């Protein structure tokens, strides 16, 4: 039986030049044997495209001002390429997310329509006493949210690091699209989108649309990815609500 065909890629731009070589090396070195790579470059100039187009398949797209709209548009271009190219899955793997070599095999093993890996982001914590700041620090949290509270209310909470230490498959209400394997059945029914009247990004609406179709968002906590955001030059958080 032939292995499922997977398209791996993401939108990118010159602001991520600091991690692009690391990303390319990682995706070229995946242990799976039936996948292709494609990046969508939406940089302001052609410099980034000219530098990397010989290293990895890349398409130059037009830059627009609204970053959330820009990313959703380019992710939809990848979605369309996956559908037209008869890929069984699209692995949305963000340019600053570095997966384990066997990421595709692990995510495929669950036979789910939507299943994500885990990556972290640092969040600032402030502790106050009597209205005065006594301590502040950063703590890494996984970009995974689960149902919380009254099931009749549409509430969720973010997991903490200890909750993803064990290797298990969990149902999530939301996870970032930095490392998510999506079956073509979902791709054919759902477009990446934003709501201009809300501050949410396309990952929030994608997870919501998956649930509306009657499917579930899963997360494999054994798939731990590095998130190279320390030297990020562009201030844009894809998981803002």
pLDDT means per 10 residues, the chain with 241 residues, are: 93 96 98 98 97 98 87 94 98 97 98 96 81 80 87 82 95 92 96 70 81 93 92 38 25
Under a CB-based contact definition with an 8 Å cutoff, are residues 89 and 105 in contact? no
In angstroms, rounded to a whole number, what is the distance separating the alpha carbons of residues 207 and 172? 9
pLDDT at position 40, please? 98
pLDDT at position 209, please? 87
For residue 118, what is the DSSP state? E
Q: What phi and psi values does residue 103 have, to the nearest 5 degrees? A: -55, -45
Q: Position of tokens 């494609």?
A: 38
Q: Which residues pair with 11 in a beta bridge?
A: 40
Is the Cα dihedral 94, 99, 102, 108 positive or negative? negative
Distance of CA 65 to the CA centre of its chain: 21
Phi-psi region of 11 (alpha: psi -120 to 50; beta: other; left: phi over 0): beta
Distance of CA 189 to the CA centre of its chain: 19
The length of the chain in residues reads 241
pLDDT at position 233, please? 44
pLDDT at position 131, please? 78
pLDDT at position 236, please? 33
Q: Position of tokens 């885990």?
A: 118
Q: What phi and psi values does residue 205 have, to the nearest 5 degrees? A: -70, -35
Distance of CA 134 to the CA centre of its chain: 35
CA quadruple 73, 83, 117, 111: dihedral, nearest 10: 150
Q: Position of tokens 């502040």?
A: 136
Q: Which of 40, 41, 28, 118 is nearest to 79 (CA)?
A: 40
Question: What H or E segment, with its residue span, contains residue 235?
Answer: none
Catalogue all structural domains in the chain, each as residue range(s) with its CATH number.
6-227 (3.90.550.10)
Helix, strand or coil for residue 76? helix
pTM of this structure: 0.89
pLDDT at position 41, please? 97
């Amino acid at each position: 039986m032939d292995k499922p065909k997977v398209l791996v890629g993401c939108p990118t731009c010159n602001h991520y030049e600091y991690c692009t070589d690391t990303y390319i090396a990682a995706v070229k070195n995946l242990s799976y044997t039936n996948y292709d790579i494609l990046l969508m470059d939406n940089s302001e100039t052609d410099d980034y495209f000219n530098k990397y187009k010989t290293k990895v398949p890349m398409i130059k797209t037009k830059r627009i001002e609204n970053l959330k709209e820009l990313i959703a548009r380019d992710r939809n271009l990848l979605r369309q390429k996956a559908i037209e190219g008869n890929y069984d899955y699209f692995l949305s793997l963000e340019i600053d997310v570095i997966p384990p070599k066997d990421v595709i095999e692990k995510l495929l093993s669950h036979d789910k329509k939507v299943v994500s890996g885990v990556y972290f982001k640092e969040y600032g914590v402030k502790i106050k006493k009597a209205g005065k700041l006594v301590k502040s620090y950063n703590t890494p949290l996984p970009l995974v949210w689960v149902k919380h509270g009254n099931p009749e209310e549409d509430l969720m909470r973010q997991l903490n690091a200890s909750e993803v230490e064990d290797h298990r498959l969990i149902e999530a209400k939301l996870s970032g699209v930095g490392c998510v394997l999506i079956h073509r059945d979902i791709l054919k029914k759902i477009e990446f989108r934003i709501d201009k009247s809300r501050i949410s990004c396309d990952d929030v609406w994608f997870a919501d649309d998956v649930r509306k179709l009657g499917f579930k968002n899963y997360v494999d906590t054994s798939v731990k990815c590095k998130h190279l955001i320390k030297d990020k030059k562009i201030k844009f958080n894809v998981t803002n609500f």
